Structure 1
Amino acid sequence: MSTPATEFSLPNVGPGPDPVSLSALAAEHAFALLLFQRDHYCTNCRQQVQTVAGRYDEFARRDTEVVSIVPEPAEKVREWQDSYDLPFPLVADPEASAGDAYDQPVRFGFLGDWSDFLGRMPEAVLIDLRGEPTVVWSYRSRSTFDRPSVDDLLAAIEEARDTPPEG
C-alpha cells in the first residue's frame, strides 16, 4: 500500500540541493530515503548516519538519495556535517514540520509533544520519485534503539524498484 508523499522544503547543510525538497530530489533520483532523527544529541541517530554514510555507494547504485532530517536549527545540524562529512543531504527541520507531516512517532503524549528530547522517535520513509512522489515503505521506531539495519533499508529499496511506479 502506498500513499502520496508530502512535499517539503528544508535547509540543507550537507551535499545536494539547498533547500532540499522532493521535487529537487526527483530531478536527480528515482527514490528518496528520509531518515527522521530524534534530535541533535541522539547518539543512536549519529551512529545511524555514520553507518549509512559508510555504505552510501550501495544507495547511490540503487538511484536512491538518503536524506537525514534533524528537528533542530541549521547551526546545530551543521555540527553533524562538520564532524561526520556525510555524503548525502543533512537537513534542518527546526519546527519538525516534515517529521509531523510524515507522522514521525512521538511518545509520552503531551509531554512528548512538548519536548522532542523525551518523545520524538526515529523513522525511516522510502519515497518513490519515479512518478507522483509516493510513500512506498516506512519504519516507525518504538525507541531510539529501534532502527532498521542498512540491509533492511536496501531490501526495501530493492522491493520498491521491482514494483512499477504509480502515477
Structure 2
Amino acid sequence: MYESHHGVGQALEFTLPNVGDGSDRYTAADLQSGSGIALVLLLRNHYCPLSRRKVRRLGERIDQFESEHVPVVAVLPDTVDRASVWGRRYETPFALLADPPADADAGDDAPDRFEAFGDVQEWVPQTPALVVVETYGDEPTVGQIYSGATRQDCPSVEEMLEIARETRLESPNKKPAPAV
C-alpha cells in the first residue's frame, strides 16, 4: 500500500449527486464529523469488480465506522445513471456519489477520471484509492491518500477501519468539529 503525502492540506469543495444513503446532493461540508475525520473511497469505474466488492464489503461493515463517528463516502467517476445502478444493486447504507469528468457522456464505456475529485486524483497512482479527510477546521482538507502500484493495493475495509482509528489517535491536539 502506498501512502502519499502529496495533496495533503488541499481543501475540498464540491457538490455532487448522491445515489446512496442520505440527501440527493452531497457537499464537502457534509463530511464534517464529531471524530474530525471522514473517509472518501475513490472507485475505479462502473465495471471494476474490485470496486464493486469494496462497496459491498463496506456496506456490510458500515456500522463499525458509524460507531467511530467516521463518515464514509464512495465516489464513482461515472454518470448518475450508472451510479444509480450501484445504489440499487448494493443498497449502499452510505453516500455514493457520481463524479463524472465534464466531457463524459452516456456513450463512454467506463470513464475513470473524476471532475470534482480530479485534483486529488492527480496524486493517486491507481484507483480504487482511499482519501482520509480532516474535518477539524473550517473546511475539509486532504489528510492522507492511500493507494498503490496496483488496484489491489487499496486498503481493505478492515484496513480502512484501522486507518480511521489510527488517524484519530495521531491527531489528539486537533479540536474536532461539533458532531452533526
Q: Same fold (TM over 0.5)?
A: yes
Paired letter, 1:57: D
Paired letter, 2:95: P
Mapped partners of 2:76, 2:154: distance in 1 = 15
Choose which of 156, 162, 170 in structure 2 pairs with 1:155.
162
* Structure 1 contact 13–81 (Cα < 8 Å) conserved: yes
Aligned to 2:75: 69
Hey, which of these two has a bigger chunk of helix by percent? 1
Choose which of 130, 144, 148 in structure 1 pairs with 2:136.
130
Aligned to 2:105: none
Q: Which has the higher contact order (CA 8 A, sep 6+)?
A: 2
* Structure 1 contact 77–92 (Cα < 8 Å) conserved: yes
Mapped partners of 1:141, 1:82: distance in 2 = 29
1:17-56 deviation per Cα after TM superposition (whole angstroms, max 9, x unaligned): 3311121232677322111011001000000011111110
Mapped partners of 2:166, 2:151: distance in 1 = 26
Aligned to 2:51: 45
Choose which of 91, 94, 100 in structure 2 pairs with 1:88.
94
Aligned to 2:41: 35
Mapped partners of 2:40, 2:124: distance in 1 = 17
Gaps in structure 1 of 5+ consecutive residues: 108-119
For normalisation by structure 2, the TM-score amounts to 0.76
Mapped partners of 1:17, 1:4: distance in 2 = 25
Paired letter, 1:102: V
Choose which of 143, 147, 152 in structure 1 pairs with 2:150.
143
Paired letter, 1:125: V
Q: How many residues align?
A: 155
Gaps in structure 2 of 5+ consecutive residues: 102-113
Change in 2 beyond 3 A, CA 1:71/1:77: same
1:46-96 deviation per Cα after TM superposition (whole angstroms, max 9, x unaligned): 000111111101111111111110010000000011111010000100111
Aligned to 2:60: 54
- Percent identical pairs in the alignment equals 32
1:77-122 deviation per Cα after TM superposition (whole angstroms, max 9, x unaligned): 0001111101000010011113312125677xxxxxxxxxxxx622
Change in 2 beyond 3 A, CA 1:90/1:29: farther
